[in-house]
Amino acid sequence: MTTEPVRVELGEYTLEAPTSYGPRILDLSWQGRPSLFARLDDSVALDGPDGPYRFRGGHRLWAAPEVADVTYVSDDIACQVEVGEGVVSVSAPADGAGLQKTVTIREDDGRLVVEHSLLNGGDTARRVAPWAITQLRTGGVAFCPLPPNPTQAPQADRSMVLWPYTDPTDPRLEWRPAALLVRAGPGPQIKVGSGPAPGRLGYMADGQLFVKEIPPARDDADYADRGAVAQVYCNDAFLELESLGPLVDLEPGEETVHRETWHVSTCEDPEEALARIVEEGT
């Protein structure tokens, strides 16, 4: 079996999926433009229960909540890449935590529908949630919406979540009435999240706007990270746009699926990008 990455054309998008580890999507190019995805060397890694978890860049599927013995299990295992008409699926055998992960992407009218599947391939039940993470190169601006819901007045209608290492006075954070902007530049690590219905996350760099649309939190479900279904993480090497599915008790053989929709367009102005993401949609 080849160990070379597989390049796939889906409409106006070109994707690259590795076969020797994953499931991952290393590159996403739109209309032949340079990919906004980060590419990292193997030194960028976390200590996992079975060796280093290498970030490498691109898009990955993790399991929430963030518990090292589950989340940081190595994905250095051969993957199967299946390509069909307008669709590609990347899957791996069960990892050291007993979770089998699959990422399936199909083109739909200029957008990419990305499905993330966690299947319990072990012999005991697990409480997990799909956690979809896209690593982007620095130098741009991320948009994390906080859209108000006037119909809920006078009750609280939304939340902003901070991680212990996040300084809310960090100059890379810019507060707007219905969004938080994160400038991906040098500085200590920061992470913010929002819920219950941000709708989308965005990142603008080099004249391109990458948007991922995400489902709102369900009223009948529990979520990790205090209900922050949309999350933005930034450090010196990369910025991440992340989304969470609900926590599910998976019995052996059961799976849960989380869906995002990706879209790339031209954009040079952060104010225009903000309007598209928060005010007008995409």
Q: Which two tokens stand for residue 88?
A: 């590609």
Sequence letter at residue 64: A
**Average model confidence (pLDDT) across the chain:** 96
**93, part of any domain:** yes
For the chain, the DSSP string reads: ---SPEEEEETTEEEEE-SSS-SEE-EEEETTPPP-B-B--TTSEEEEBTEEEE--BEEEEEEES--HHHHT----S--EEEEETTEEEEE----TTSEEEEEEEEEETTEEEEEEEEEE-SSS-EEEEEEEEEEE-SSSEEEEE----GGGTTS---EEEE-TT--TT-TTEEEETTEEEEE--SSS-EEEEEES---EEEEEETTEEEEEE-PPPPTT---SGGG--EEEEE-SS-EEEEEE---EEEPTT-EEEEEEEEEEEE---HHHHHIIIIII--
**235, part of any domain:** yes
**1, part of any domain:** no
pTM value?
0.96
The confidence score (pLDDT) of residue 281 equals 52
pLDDT at 221 over 60: yes
Share of the chain above pLDDT 70, in %: 98
Which domain CATH number covers 153? 2.70.98.10
Query: If we measure between CA atoms, which residue out of 136, 127, 148, 138 comes closest to residue 222?
Result: 127
The confidence score (pLDDT) of residue 1 equals 43
The confidence score (pLDDT) of residue 108 equals 97
Q: Which two tokens stand for residue 157?
A: 């209608």
pLDDT at 171 over 60: yes
**269, part of any domain:** yes
Burial class of residue 194 in the structure, from the number of CB atoms within 10 Å of its CB (0-12 exposed, 13-18 middle, 19+ buried)? buried
The confidence score (pLDDT) of residue 179 equals 96
Which has the higher per-residue pLDDT, 279 or 103?
A: 103
User: Where does the pLDDT of residue 140 fall: very low under 50, low under 70, confident under 90, or very high at 90 and above?
Assistant: very high
pLDDT at 170 over 60: yes
pLDDT at 141 over 50: yes
Task: State which residues form the domain around 73.
Answer: 6-280
The confidence score (pLDDT) of residue 279 equals 77
pLDDT digits (tens, 9 = 90+) for 21-42: 999 999 999 999 999 999 999 9
Query: If we measure between CA atoms, which residue out of 44, 48, 51 comes closest to residue 72?
Result: 48
Distance separating alpha carbons of residues 204 and 242, to the nearest angstrom: 15
| Cβ neighbour number for residue 165 with a 10 Å cutoff | 10
Number of domains forming the structure of the chain: 1
The confidence score (pLDDT) of residue 4 equals 83
Distance separating alpha carbons of residues 2 and 108, to the nearest angstrom: 29
**77, part of any domain:** yes
